[in-house]
């Protein structure tokens, strides 16, 4: 599964964020992603405590698993995420990302995620310096750089994220690590090429995809944005 998930491509992996999909007709949006050039589904789980919003939880992740034909990239915006690692594995998550700011024992949590057979990600909020990851960079399969404050789709991209991705790229390369860089928030045709040039491997896109007249075409355009 790991090789399949990390299938190498020249262009970035695109992970449409289901938070911006039509919750009254999720099936249609899932099928659109299935048939598109996107590689992953990005699922945002929020608890109303770590972030000022509540989205969806296990039953919805499980339902999406039945219909989705691509890996599920689950982004946990919840406190004490270590409580639910096994449950999300059972729901069919392929990649599980926890927040640095929510994980007291991050090293242990990352390894617990891997032990459950998932790829392990760590997300950092806009105010969290990349260098705080120095001692866990080899333990994470991916680092998710939040380029907006987590909690909502459709927010304005925080420009500083570009410099953070460049620093993260330098850190990863200096250690000869394989850690992937994912960016989440405000990804569109203007920011995507700059993010890829800075070193991003995975682009999460909510509003720009699901708000587009032709979402599948937008996915392709984001993938090829130069």
Contact residues toward ligand DX5 (CB under 6 A) are 17, 19-20, 42, 44, 75, 148, 150-155, 184-187, 204-208
Decide if residue 99 touches Zn ion (CB under 5 A): no
Cross-strand bridge partners of residue 107: none
CA angle 192, 72, 108 (to 5 degrees): 100
Q: Which whole-number Å values give the CA distances from 212 to 21, 217, 218, 219, in the listed order? A: 11, 9, 7, 10
C-alpha 162/C-alpha 10 separation (Å) is: 20
User: With respect to ligand DX5, which residue has the nearer C-beta, 109 or 208?
Assistant: 208
C-alpha 49/C-alpha 209 separation (Å) is: 27
Q: Restricting to residues 24-53, name those near Zn ion by CB under 5 A.
A: 44
User: With respect to ligand DX5, which residue has the nearer C-beta, 53 or 177?
Assistant: 53
User: With respect to ligand DX5, which residue has the nearer C-beta, 101 or 177?
Assistant: 101
Catalytic residue among 44, 47, 94, 201: 44
User: With respect to ligand DX5, which residue has the nearer C-beta, 42 or 139?
Assistant: 42
Q: Which does 153 bind (CB under 5 to 8 A by kind): ligand DX5, Zn ion, none?
A: ligand DX5
The number of C-alpha atoms within 13 Å of 137 and in the hemisphere containing its C-beta is 21
Catalytic residue among 47, 139, 184, 201: 184
CA nearest neighbour of 165 among 153, 183, 179? 183
What beta strand segments (E) does 37-118 contain? 41-46, 72-77, 95-99
C-alpha 86/C-alpha 184 separation (Å) is: 24
| Stretch in the footprint of Zn ion (CB under 5 A) among 64-72, 101-109, 169-177, 182-190 | 182-190
C-alpha 129/C-alpha 131 separation (Å) is: 5
Smallest gap from residue 208 Cβ to Zn ion (A): 14
Decide if residue 184 touches Zn ion (CB under 5 A): yes
Specify whether 47 is catalytic.
no
Decide if residue 75 touches Zn ion (CB under 5 A): yes
Smallest gap from residue 212 Cβ to ligand DX5 (A): 11
Q: Restricting to residues 103-142, name those near Zn ion by CB under 5 A.
A: none
| Stretch in the footprint of Zn ion (CB under 5 A) among 4-12, 178-186, 194-202, 211-219 | 178-186
CA angle 126, 9, 28 (to 5 degrees): 75
User: With respect to ligand DX5, which residue has the nearer C-beta, 128 or 177?
Assistant: 128
Please, are residues 198 and 184 in contact by the beta-carbon 8 Å criterion?
no
Specify whether 31 is catalytic.
no
The site for Zn ion (CB under 5 A) is made up of 44, 75, 184
Residues annotated as catalytic (active site), given as ranges:
44, 184
């Amino acid at each position: 599964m790991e090789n399949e998930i990390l299938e190498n491509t020249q262009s970035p992996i695109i992970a449409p964020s289901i938070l911006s999909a039509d919750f009254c007709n999720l099936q249609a949006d899932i099928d659109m992603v299935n048939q598109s050039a996107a590689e992953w589904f990005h699922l945002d789980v929020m608890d109303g405590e770590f972030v000022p919003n509540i989205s969806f939880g296990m039953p919805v992740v499980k339902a999406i698993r039945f219909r989705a034909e691509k890996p599920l990239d689950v982004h946990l915006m919840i406190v004490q995420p270590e409580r639910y690692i096994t449950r999300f594995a059972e729901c069919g998550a392929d990649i599980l990302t926890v927040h640095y700011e929510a994980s007291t024992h991050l090293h242990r949590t990352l390894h617990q995620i891997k032990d459950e057979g998932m790829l392990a990600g760590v997300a950092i909020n806009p105010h969290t310096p990349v260098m705080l990851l120095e001692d866990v960079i080899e333990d994470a399969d991916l680092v998710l750089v939040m380029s907006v404050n987590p909690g909502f789709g459709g927010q304005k991209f925080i420009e500083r994220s570009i410099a953070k991705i460049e620093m993260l790229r330098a850190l990863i390369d200096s250690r000869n690590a394989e850690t992937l860089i994912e960016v989440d928030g405000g990804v569109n045709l203007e920011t995507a090429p700059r993010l890829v040039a800075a070193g991003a491997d995975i682009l999460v896109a909510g509003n720009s995809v699901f708000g587009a007249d032709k979402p599948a075409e937008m996915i392709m355009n984001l993938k090829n944005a130069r």
